[in-house]
Every structure is written in structure tokens, then in C-alpha cells.
Amino acid sequence: MNKLFLSLLTFLWMGTNAQSVGVTITNNSQLDYSDYVIEVPWKDIVAKWPSIDTADFKVIDSKTQQEITFQLEYAGNPTIQNLLLQVSIPANKTRSFKLVKGKHAFSPPKTFCRYVPERKDDFAWENDKIAFRMYGKALEGSNEDAYGLDVWVKSTDKLVVDDRYKKNDYHKDHGDGLDYYQVGYTLGAGNIAPYVNDSVYYSKNYHRFKVLDNGPLRSSFQLIYDEWNVDGKPVSVIKTISIDAGSQLNRVTAAYNHTSDAALPVATGLAKRKDPGVLFLNEQNGISAYWEPQHGNDGVTGVATIHLQPIRQMLVTKEQVLTITTTDAQKSITYFTGAVWNKANRITSAHQWFEYVQHFQQKLKQPLIITVQ
């Protein structure tokens, strides 16, 4: 054997017998990323460490040697899709991490979602910042029914959904927040619906669900809606929603099914209050944000939606703020929506909320650079 062939064999042997993998994350933006959840493609990790045991590895910060929390994301598939890491990287900095053999420490979950049959088919979800819910079939047609996305404000990083449903007294603040958000006959805090001939065509409530992942860093699920009439044509939709630890906003993908080949006009909406609030509308960057008026002792809720695709129009009606756009060629649309509470003492003014939303949009357009070594 010549030296070149021996070197090649050694390289191949070392590649297939790797005992660690390096991950480098570079922030080339002018923004600090704080407690930000990133996706590392699992196939890239397996390519470097084919024998990795998913039950026997941990992730170490290369600089501090501290173990960090991770999640294996399946996204509803039978196999792992991504390794999720929550990282903080200052502007124009790079951080390195290593996957090494060893049992990882238990990390309390920072996100959670579940079907709530004991409360008329609610589906509720949360992270360490905020909580939400959508309404199910059992509530449909009752005097409690609503059409939009509901917000449960929080002033704790603990998960509260189960405890609040158990107490069944969540319209009162017991020290960690409450549900005072009014949805009514609107899209609430950023739900989506077809918008045809200057009208919102609300679906009925979701009928079926599927949990895709459930923490600790990301919870995701699907809400499946029965067919309804949109300007004389049948339409149905599946909404895939995910929430990451540390974020005020959800990622929503609405995949529509309808008979037309044309793009479907759709609108996302933010419920508007009678008293004056503060609006921030930026059609060019797809941002619609609203800092609501003070709600007595309950405080102030801020809500927002972000679209990365071109916007047709933004409208302010008596009931809500609408962002109108269309689905793509696959009859689907992805956007971001969420909320914040001033009494959580993280974001306490309209200016801070609008700045947060603009920075969120900038990060979506200039993502972190991830390298697997």
C-alpha cells in the first residue's frame, strides 16, 4: 500500500468512528440574539458522526464548557429532522458548541401544548413568555364562541396552562397573569382567514389536532378545520403552529385546500379596542403591530403579525387591523404572530414592542450561519 492510500483509509476510518461533532454559529448582523432557538439539520450531524447514540450525547459550550439544553425535533415525522439549541450570540460574534458522548442533564421544559377536552375542546400552548389558545368544536355556537386566536398573558417563566385549567379561575390574576384578552367576532391576536370581495370568511372552529413536538425548546402542532363556504366555493385548511422558548411570537403555516388554481386572498387580523391604542403599520416590511389601551388593573397587551411575502394592503376597521395578502403556488402561507404583556416587565411600552417586532423581522431575513464540523 502506498502512503496516499493509507492516508485515505485513515481518514475514512476516523470519519466513521467520530466521537464528537462541532457546531459553529455565526451572527453577521448588527443585532444581539438572546435565548434564540436555532435548527441544526440532523442529517448534517449524522454525516459527521454516523454512530451517534441519541440517548447518549450532550451539547457543550466550547468556551465555558457548560452543558446547554437541546431538543431533537421530529416535526411530526418518524425520524429526527433537527437538533434545536437555544443560544445567545452578540452582534458580529461567533460561538462554538460540541456534541460529545455522555448522558445529558434534565432540563425543565420551556414550551408546552395540549388538547383540553375538559374545557370544550380548547387547544392551548405556551412558552416561558406568553400563552395562547384556539377554540374547538365543543364551544361552537355557544355564547362563549369566538373566531380568533386568544392570548393568556404571563408574568412568570413557569408553564401555567395546566394549573390555570385545573383552577378554572384564569380570568383573575393570581400572581402569574390571566386571561383578559377579548377575541369576539374578530381574528383575535393574529388568526388567518380567506378575504374575498372585501369580506373575511371565518371558518368554524378546529375539528381535529395533531401534536408534532412538545418541548423543551419548541412545541408544534396542527389544527385541522372542516370545509366551509368561501364566496360560494368549498375551502378547508390545516394550520401548523409552533412556539419556541424565549419568543413572543408563533410561527404559523396555513395550508389551504380549494378547487381554484388562483392564489387565495387571505387576511391576518388583530382585534381592535374602542379606546385609543397605538398602531404600527409597515406594509413594505409586512409588520402590523398594536399596543392596546390600558385595560384597568389588568395592564396592556401588545399584539403583532409579521409577513415575509409581499403585502397587498393593510386595513384598519372598527373591529380589527387586517393585513391582506395571498397564498403561494402551493396554496399555503407562513407568517408570525404573537403577543406581550406590560406587567411581565420585559417589554413595557409601545416603543419597546414595535422595536422588538422589527428586530424579530430583521432576524428572519438575516438568519444565523450554522456550520457543522
Answer yes or no: do 117 and 95 share one domain.
no
Answer yes or no: do 158 and 181 share one domain.
yes
- Is residue 370 assigned to a domain? no
- Is residue 371 assigned to a domain? no
Q: Cα–Cα distance between 281 and 81 in angstroms, integer?
A: 36
Answer yes or no: do 94 and 231 share one domain.
no
Amino acid code (one letter) for 262: A
Residue 149: closest CA among 110, 96, 102, 188: 188
Q: Which pLDDT score, from 0 to 100, does residue 184 have? A: 93
Residues in the chain predicted with pLDDT less than 70, given as ranges, are: 1-17
Q: Where do runs of H (alpha helix) occur along 115-249? A: 161-167
Q: Cα–Cα distance between 340 and 198 in angstroms, integer?
A: 30
- Is residue 201 assigned to a domain? yes
Answer yes or no: do 21 and 137 share one domain.
no
Instruction: List the domain range (segments joined by +) for residue 93.
Output: 3-107
Q: Cα–Cα distance between 303 and 210 in angstroms, integer?
A: 26
Q: Which of 45, 77, 107 is the last residue of a domain?
A: 107
Answer yes or no: do 253 and 298 share one domain.
yes
Answer yes or no: do 91 and 139 share one domain.
no
- Is residue 267 assigned to a domain? yes
- Is residue 356 assigned to a domain? yes
51-76 pLDDT per residue, tens: 999 999 999 999 999 999 999 999 99
- Is residue 180 assigned to a domain? yes
Answer yes or no: do 88 and 119 share one domain.
no
Q: Give the domain CATH number at 31.
A: 2.60.40.1180
Answer yes or no: do 171 and 82 share one domain.
no
Number of domains present in the structure of the chain:
2
Q: How far is C-alpha 59 from the chain's CA centre?
A: 23
Q: Give the domain CATH number at 216.
A: 2.70.98
Q: Which pLDDT score, from 0 to 100, does residue 261 have? A: 85
Q: Which pLDDT score, from 0 to 100, does residue 16 have? A: 52
**Angle at CA of residue 77, ends 136 and 56, nearest 5°:** 120
Answer yes or no: do 9 and 93 share one domain.
yes
Q: Which of 58, 84, 107 is the last residue of a domain?
A: 107
Question: What are the beta bridge partners of residue 250?
Answer: 243, 337
Answer yes or no: do 84 and 220 share one domain.
no
Q: Which of 60, 76, 107 is the last residue of a domain?
A: 107
Query: For residues 142 and 136, is the Cβ–Cβ distance under 8 A?
Result: no
pTM for the structure as a whole: 0.94
Answer yes or no: do 119 and 94 share one domain.
no
- Is residue 87 assigned to a domain? yes
Q: Which pLDDT score, from 0 to 100, does residue 4 have? A: 46
273-322 pLDDT per residue, tens: 999 999 999 999 999 999 999 999 999 999 999 999 999 999 999 999 99
Query: For residues 134 and 202, is the Cβ–Cβ distance under 8 A?
Result: no
Q: Answer left, alpha or beta for residue 215, where phi above 0 means left and psi between -120 and 50 means alpha.
A: left
Answer yes or no: do 154 and 275 share one domain.
yes
